[in-house]
Protein backbone atom coordinates (compact mmCIF):
# COMPACT_ATOMS: atom_id res chain seq x y z
CA UNK A 1 0.00 0.00 0.00
CA UNK A 2 1.16 3.47 -0.89
CA UNK A 3 -0.46 6.47 0.72
CA UNK A 4 0.44 9.73 -1.03
CA UNK A 5 0.12 13.13 0.59
CA UNK A 6 0.14 16.24 -1.54
CA UNK A 7 -0.58 19.90 -1.00
CA UNK A 8 0.97 23.34 -0.92
CA UNK A 9 4.15 24.02 1.02
CA UNK A 10 3.35 24.37 4.70
CA UNK A 11 0.24 22.18 4.46
CA UNK A 12 1.77 19.60 6.81
CA UNK A 13 2.51 16.77 4.39
CA UNK A 14 5.71 15.65 6.13
CA UNK A 15 4.39 16.12 9.67
CA UNK A 16 1.09 14.35 8.99
CA UNK A 17 2.96 11.67 7.04
CA UNK A 18 5.12 10.89 10.08
CA UNK A 19 2.06 10.70 12.37
CA UNK A 20 0.23 8.42 9.96
CA UNK A 21 3.30 6.22 9.51
CA UNK A 22 3.59 5.82 13.30
CA UNK A 23 -0.08 4.85 13.56
CA UNK A 24 0.20 2.33 10.71
CA UNK A 25 3.69 1.11 11.61
CA UNK A 26 5.07 1.66 8.10
CA UNK A 27 7.81 4.04 6.87
CA UNK A 28 7.21 7.69 6.11
CA UNK A 29 9.10 8.89 3.04
CA UNK A 30 9.56 12.52 2.04
CA UNK A 31 10.18 12.78 -1.70
CA UNK A 32 12.38 15.87 -1.33
CA UNK A 33 14.57 14.02 1.21
CA UNK A 34 14.98 11.13 -1.25
CA UNK A 35 15.99 13.53 -4.03
CA UNK A 36 18.47 15.30 -1.76
CA UNK A 37 20.01 11.97 -0.69
CA UNK A 38 20.29 10.77 -4.28
CA UNK A 39 21.88 14.02 -5.48
CA UNK A 40 23.85 14.69 -2.28
CA UNK A 41 22.61 18.29 -2.49
CA UNK A 42 19.83 20.34 -0.89
CA UNK A 43 16.84 21.07 -3.15
CA UNK A 44 17.83 24.76 -3.26
CA UNK A 45 21.36 23.76 -4.37
CA UNK A 46 20.00 21.49 -7.10
CA UNK A 47 17.92 24.42 -8.41
CA UNK A 48 20.83 26.88 -8.29
CA UNK A 49 23.54 24.51 -9.61
CA UNK A 50 21.63 22.38 -12.10
CA UNK A 51 18.41 24.29 -12.79
CA UNK A 52 14.71 23.58 -12.44
CA UNK A 53 14.44 21.38 -15.54
CA UNK A 54 17.09 19.02 -14.15
CA UNK A 55 15.33 19.02 -10.77
CA UNK A 56 11.91 18.22 -12.26
CA UNK A 57 13.36 15.31 -14.28
CA UNK A 58 15.06 13.96 -11.16
CA UNK A 59 11.86 14.47 -9.16
CA UNK A 60 9.84 12.36 -11.62
CA UNK A 61 12.54 9.68 -11.65
CA UNK A 62 12.63 9.41 -7.85
CA UNK A 63 8.81 9.55 -7.63
CA UNK A 64 8.53 6.64 -10.04
CA UNK A 65 11.13 4.64 -8.07
CA UNK A 66 9.10 5.17 -4.91
CA UNK A 67 5.80 4.33 -6.57
CA UNK A 68 7.14 1.15 -8.17
CA UNK A 69 8.81 -0.19 -5.03
CA UNK A 70 6.93 -2.94 -3.20
CA UNK A 71 7.48 -1.26 0.16
CA UNK A 72 4.40 -0.02 2.00
CA UNK A 73 4.96 3.70 2.63
CA UNK A 74 3.44 7.03 3.41
CA UNK A 75 4.91 9.23 0.67
CA UNK A 76 4.88 13.00 1.10
CA UNK A 77 5.29 14.79 -2.23
CA UNK A 78 6.84 18.19 -2.79
CA UNK A 79 4.33 21.01 -3.16
CA UNK A 80 4.98 21.30 -6.89
CA UNK A 81 5.45 17.60 -7.65
CA UNK A 82 1.88 16.91 -8.89
CA UNK A 83 2.01 19.90 -11.23
CA UNK A 84 4.90 18.84 -13.47
CA UNK A 85 5.21 16.30 -16.24
CA UNK A 86 2.94 13.32 -15.73
CA UNK A 87 3.55 13.10 -11.98
CA UNK A 88 -0.11 13.37 -10.94
CA UNK A 89 -1.11 10.72 -13.48
CA UNK A 90 1.66 8.44 -12.15
CA UNK A 91 0.51 9.00 -8.56
CA UNK A 92 -3.12 8.17 -9.37
CA UNK A 93 -2.13 5.08 -11.38
CA UNK A 94 0.06 3.67 -8.60
CA UNK A 95 -2.10 4.39 -5.56
CA UNK A 96 -5.77 4.40 -4.64
CA UNK A 97 -4.92 6.54 -1.61
CA UNK A 98 -3.89 10.00 -2.82
CA UNK A 99 -4.76 12.74 -0.32
CA UNK A 100 -4.73 16.50 -0.83
CA UNK A 101 -4.07 18.27 2.47
CA UNK A 102 -6.03 21.46 1.86
CA UNK A 103 -5.25 24.50 3.98
CA UNK A 104 -6.88 27.90 3.49
CA UNK A 105 -4.81 30.84 2.25
CA UNK A 106 -4.93 32.55 5.68
CA UNK A 107 -3.90 29.23 7.27
CA UNK A 108 -0.97 28.85 4.90
CA UNK A 109 0.11 32.46 5.43
CA UNK A 110 0.08 31.96 9.20
CA UNK A 111 2.18 28.78 8.93
CA UNK A 112 4.61 30.03 6.29
CA UNK A 113 5.36 33.41 7.91
CA UNK A 114 7.02 31.45 10.74
CA UNK A 115 9.31 29.54 8.38
CA UNK A 116 9.88 31.99 5.53
CA UNK A 117 13.65 32.01 5.98
CA UNK A 118 13.78 28.25 5.29
CA UNK A 119 11.56 28.38 2.20
CA UNK A 120 13.54 29.49 -0.87
CA UNK A 121 10.39 30.08 -2.92
CA UNK A 122 9.05 32.73 -0.51
CA UNK A 123 12.01 33.97 1.52
CA UNK A 124 12.33 37.16 -0.56
CA UNK A 125 8.61 37.96 -0.65
CA UNK A 126 7.38 40.76 1.59
CA UNK A 127 5.07 39.54 4.38
CA UNK A 128 2.13 41.62 3.14
CA UNK A 129 2.53 40.17 -0.38
CA UNK A 130 2.48 36.55 0.80
CA UNK A 131 -1.35 36.04 0.69
CA UNK A 132 -1.51 37.17 -2.95
CA UNK A 133 1.51 35.01 -3.90
CA UNK A 134 0.01 31.92 -2.24
CA UNK A 135 -3.42 32.61 -3.73
CA UNK A 136 -1.99 32.87 -7.25
CA UNK A 137 0.07 29.72 -6.78
CA UNK A 138 -2.88 27.76 -5.41
CA UNK A 139 -5.04 28.90 -8.31
CA UNK A 140 -2.41 27.51 -10.71
CA UNK A 141 -2.04 24.24 -8.80
CA UNK A 142 -5.65 23.50 -7.78
CA UNK A 143 -6.40 21.62 -10.98
CA UNK A 144 -3.72 19.11 -10.04
CA UNK A 145 -4.34 18.98 -6.29
CA UNK A 146 -8.09 18.49 -6.76
CA UNK A 147 -7.51 15.28 -8.74
CA UNK A 148 -6.56 13.51 -5.49
CA UNK A 149 -8.88 10.72 -4.37
CA UNK A 150 -9.54 12.53 -1.09
CA UNK A 151 -9.44 16.19 -0.10
CA UNK A 152 -8.78 16.71 3.59
CA UNK A 153 -9.63 20.11 5.10
CA UNK A 154 -6.77 20.81 7.50
CA UNK A 155 -7.51 24.16 9.14
CA UNK A 156 -7.83 23.88 12.92
CA UNK A 157 -6.84 20.20 13.07
CA UNK A 158 -3.76 18.69 14.67
CA UNK A 159 -1.43 16.37 12.73
CA UNK A 160 -2.75 13.46 14.82
CA UNK A 161 -6.39 14.31 14.01
CA UNK A 162 -5.49 14.51 10.32
CA UNK A 163 -3.65 11.17 10.47
CA UNK A 164 -6.76 9.57 12.02
CA UNK A 165 -9.00 11.12 9.38
CA UNK A 166 -6.77 9.82 6.58
CA UNK A 167 -6.50 6.36 8.15
CA UNK A 168 -10.33 6.15 8.25
CA UNK A 169 -10.50 6.79 4.48
CA UNK A 170 -7.85 4.29 3.35
CA UNK A 171 -8.88 1.84 0.66
Do 14 and 77 contact (CB within 8 A), yes or no? Answer: no
pLDDT of residue 110: 94
pLDDT of residue 139: 95
pLDDT-derived band at 77 (thresholds 50, 70, 90) equals very high
Residue 170 to residues 14, 24, 99: CA-CA distances in angstroms?
A: 18, 11, 10
pLDDT tens digits, 109-135: 999 999 888 787 898 899 999 999 999
| Domain spans in the chain, listed from the N-terminal domain onward | 2-166
Q: Which residues does the annotation place in the binding site for ATP? A: 10-15, 119
| DSSP E strands, the chain | 2-6, 28-30, 73-76, 97-102, 150-153
Q: Which residues does the annotation place in the binding site? A: 10-15, 32, 56, 79, 119, 141
Model confidence at 171: pLDDT above 80: no
Q: Which residues does the annotation place in the binding site for substrate? A: 32, 56, 79, 141
The pLDDT > 90 percentage for the chain reads: 89
Model confidence at 147: pLDDT above 80: yes
Count of alpha carbons within 13 Å of 95, Cβ hemisphere only?
31
Model confidence at 52: pLDDT above 90: no
Q: Which residues does the annotation place in the binding site for Mg(2+)? A: 14
CATH code assigned to 2-166: 3.40.50.300
Q: Determine the average pLDDT of the residues in 27-50.
A: 94
pLDDT of residue 157: 97
Amino acid sequence: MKVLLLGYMGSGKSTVGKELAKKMNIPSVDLDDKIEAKENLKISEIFSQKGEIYFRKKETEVLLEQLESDEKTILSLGGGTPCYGNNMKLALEHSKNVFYLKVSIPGLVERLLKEKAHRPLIKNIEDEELPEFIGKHLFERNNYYNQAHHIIACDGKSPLELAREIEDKLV
